[in-house]
Structures are given as C-alpha cells and as structure tokens.
Structure 1
Amino acid sequence: MSESTSESARISAAQFHRAPDVSDWRVTEAGPVAVFTASSLAQAAALVAPTVAAAERFGILPDIDLRPEAVIVRVASRDFDGIPAAAPQFAAAVSAAAAELSLTPDPSRVQTIGIYVAQHSEADVRPFFLAALGYEPLGETDAVDPLRSGPQLAFNPIAGDNPARGRTHFDVFVPADQAQARVDAALAAGGRLVDDSNAPAWWSLASPDNHGVDIASWTDTQG
C-alpha cells in the first residue's frame, strides 16, 4: 500500500529540498532528478529493483534511465501542478539504496533540455510538431514525448515578427548550484551573453553563430 498521504498533494522545489536525505537530488523542469554513476551496467541495473519497490511504497511513478555509466532516476513531471508530496520520501529511499550499492551520486550531471519554438503571433505550429515528432499536447502551449525520453517543446508567439522566420532556442535546466559554472563554460567556449537581467533564474546566451540557449536554474529554487 502506498504511504503517500494523497496522490493530489503537491509541494514546491524549495519544500522538496528542505526535506531530509535528498541532497543527491536536484529539481529541473522535468521534476526531481538524481544521477548515480556506476562502473558497469550490472551495477547501475541493481538500483532498478529497490527504486521500483520505493515507487510502489510511496505511490510515485518515476522514470528510470539505465546506462552503463550511470542510472538516472526522475520523479517525472506529467503536469504543471508541482512535485508529488511523497517525492522526498521516495528520493531518500532511492538514495539509501544507491549508497548500499556503492553507486556515487553526481548532482553536477543533472540536467533537462527543453526546446522553445518561437512562432509568429498569427501561426499555430504545434499541430505540425505533434504530428512530425509523435508528441502529445501538454496544457495549452507545450508538447511532450509520450515516454518522456525526448525534450519538452513549448510554443511562444512573437507579436509583430516576420511570419516567414522562426526563432527557436534551447532551454537547459540545470541545478542552481551548477548554473553559473555552466554559463561560464559556455562563454569560455565562444558564447555570448545576451541578457543576464533575470539571473540567477536564467541567463540568455548566444552561440558564435547566434543560436539562442538559456541556462535556467529557477526550477531548482522556486517557492
């Protein structure tokens, strides 16, 4: 039986981080995420069974991404309503299991990629991308991979822009304690700072050939 008090109860990122024993985890646009590095596929796979057991215990539906180098566990965000209230207990249980298996947490490797598709104010391009990518609608403006393996898309109208031109940029959601280092690395690699007026929530950068990338950490700190 699930120990979750209510499937509908939600908490914020700040509330999640104030919970005990969740220091391995960071919150991105996809929800709380932890990366545990491994020396082999077998070692990484050993975390799957205790993660499933914790998911059933606390009523959580996690995503588990298994690789030879690491296992990534996400409390997947399937709506815009916040983090499940039982997520901290689930996260703590997974971290305890990872420690027993000698898997090493590496919060610096947590990230989620989003693509923001800019469209003319008179255009509606979401149906095209839903069909072309096999995605599903999320809310009024977004689109998601049904299995959450691809980046989430958001569609942002640009009033008065040239209807023959699309302007799309990447959002890279990283932990708040990693954001400045990621910005510095991108600038050192030839990037250009476009706007830091919203920092430390996010920085807007441009590549050497002027493609846009926002380094965003606000999801890891929001109320």
Structure 2
Amino acid sequence: MSDKTLRTHTDTVGAEGLDDWRWMLRALHARFRTGDFVTGLRLATAIAEAAEEMDHHPDLDLRYPHLNVRLSSHDVGGVTDRDLRLARRISELAAGVGVAADPSAVQVLELALDTADLEGVRPFWLAVLGMSETASPDELVDKGGSLPTLWFQETDPHDEPRQRFHVDITVPPEVAPGRIEAALAAGGTLVSAAREPAFTILADAEGNKACVCTSAGRD
C-alpha cells in the first residue's frame, strides 16, 4: 500500500493499536494532558523534530494544560500510512516524557446551514468568512484552522422564521452516549436516532437542533 493511499477508519485506529487517537472527519485527533505549559512545549518541540525527520507535519494546538494534535495528509484529503506512523511516534514521545493521552476529550465542531439555493448563498459565505473551497461543493474550510468547517444542507424553500444554522459536534464513539444523555437531561429532546451512531439529532427547548456525530457508521 502506498504512503499516499487513503485509509478508512474501519481498518485504522483499532487495528493499528493507536489507542491514544480517535478518527474524526478525515483526520486523527489526540489530546495529551501535559499538566503544565513547559511540558507541553517540550512535547511539541519533540513532535516538531520528529515531523521534520519524517517530512510530514501535524497541526499542533498548545494550551494550558494540554496539547491537541491533528494528523491528516492534506495532499490527498485524509489519513494515510504517513499519519499512522507519525501518530505512533507521537505517542511514543508523549510516553517518554510521562504524558498521557485523553481520547475522550477530543471533539470537532462544524456549522451547517440549511439552504434551498446552494449556488446562491455559497459565494457569499466563501467571501465573508474568507474560507476555501474543497472537492465537495457543499463544504467550505478555513485552511488556517481558526474557523470550523461550514457545510450546506439541502432543504426545501421556506419563509422565515425558521432555523437555518445547526451545530454538528463530532466526538469519539464512546463519548457520544454520555453527551447525548447529558443534553437530554439538560432539557433537550431526541429528534431522531435513525442514523446513530453516525449522528443523533437533538433539539433544545425552543426546537433548535444539534447533531452529536461520530466516525462510526461513516465512510
């Protein structure tokens, strides 16, 4: 298999023994509980050196007291063997400095806009948010990583008022049931579980919807 061959989540994290990592939205994600900023910086530096050696570079987000890492092969738009090897190396580096991963803490936020006129509204959002196009016509991304992905969901024409945006929050499969339970306990309602575990549709007390999503059940 070529280094640039896309992998699917069904043959990746579990089969490769990458217990620190979770597959979400065409990338591998991990959070390492560094405990303090200096340790986080030390780990980030070690990762940078390993990335240079492998000529493959992750996205690093250093916070107090953790380091978030995202791995994806941008040239092919998903996870490849390069990401698997670097993920394994990063886990080794973290273990070497006594830092544990917290897979349950990783999550990815997306915004979805209901529209009956994709071609009519898409150029506006592309311009006003300064985002970039992808191979998918219904998706816009911020290549700098500051903004969540914006995607467009087809709907029928309608008059206002009606909810147009909804939130998609992607979490590890083992986290989703607890997140859903907490949302329901907080006054939410279950709109549909027909597509779980891929996604579960919830609504708040006013009917505003949000989807709790996982990689399970998706390609």
Same fold (TM over 0.5): yes
User: What's 1:97 paired with?
Assistant: 93
CA distance in 1, matches of 2:60, 2:150: 21
User: What's 1:88 paired with?
Assistant: 84
User: What's 2:202 paired with?
Assistant: 205
The structure, 1 or 2, with the larger RCO (C-alpha pairs under 8 Å, 6+ apart) is 1
Indicate how the Cα distance of structure 1 residues 186 and 119 shifts in structure 2: closer, same or farther if over 3 A, else same. same
Shift of 1:122: 6.7
Q: Which runs of 5+ in 2 are unaligned?
A: none
Among 168, 192, 197, the alignment partner of 2:189 is 192
User: What's 2:68 paired with?
Assistant: 72
Name the TM-score, length of structure 2 as normaliser: 0.89
Among 124, 127, 130, the alignment partner of 1:128 is 124
The number of residues matched between the two structures is 218
Kindly indicate whether residue 13 of structure 2 is the aligned counterpart of residue 40 of structure 1: no
Deviates more, 1:64-73 or 1:28-37: 28-37
Deviates more, 1:33-42 or 1:19-28: 19-28
Among 148, 166, 169, the alignment partner of 1:169 is 166
Kindly indicate whether residue 156 of structure 2 is the aligned counterpart of residue 159 of structure 1: yes
2:112–2:168 Cα contact (<8 Å) kept? yes
Among 3, 11, 15, the alignment partner of 2:11 is 15
| 3-state secondary structure, aligned to 1:83 | coil
CA distance in 1, matches of 2:208, 2:74: 29
Q: Partner amino acid for 1:39?
A: G
CA distance in 2, matches of 1:41, 1:76: 25
Shift of 1:40: 1.1
Percent identical pairs in the alignment equals 30
1:59–1:86 Cα contact (<8 Å) kept? no
CA deviations over 1:52-105 (Å, ceiling 9, x no partner): 233234443310000011000001464774312222211111011111112121
Indicate how the Cα distance of structure 1 residues 63 and 26 shifts in structure 2: closer, same or farther if over 3 A, else same. same
Shift of 1:47: 1.2
CA distance in 1, matches of 2:210, 2:76: 23
CA distance in 2, matches of 1:25, 1:100: 17
2:46–2:93 Cα contact (<8 Å) kept? yes
| 3-state secondary structure, aligned to 2:154 | strand
CA deviations over 1:134-190 (Å, ceiling 9, x no partner): 111122111111212221010122134337755111110000111111111111111
User: What's 2:113 paired with?
Assistant: 117
2:115–2:164 Cα contact (<8 Å) kept? yes
Name the TM-score, length of structure 1 as normaliser: 0.88
Q: Which runs of 5+ in 1 are unaligned?
A: none
Q: Partner amino acid for 2:186?
A: A
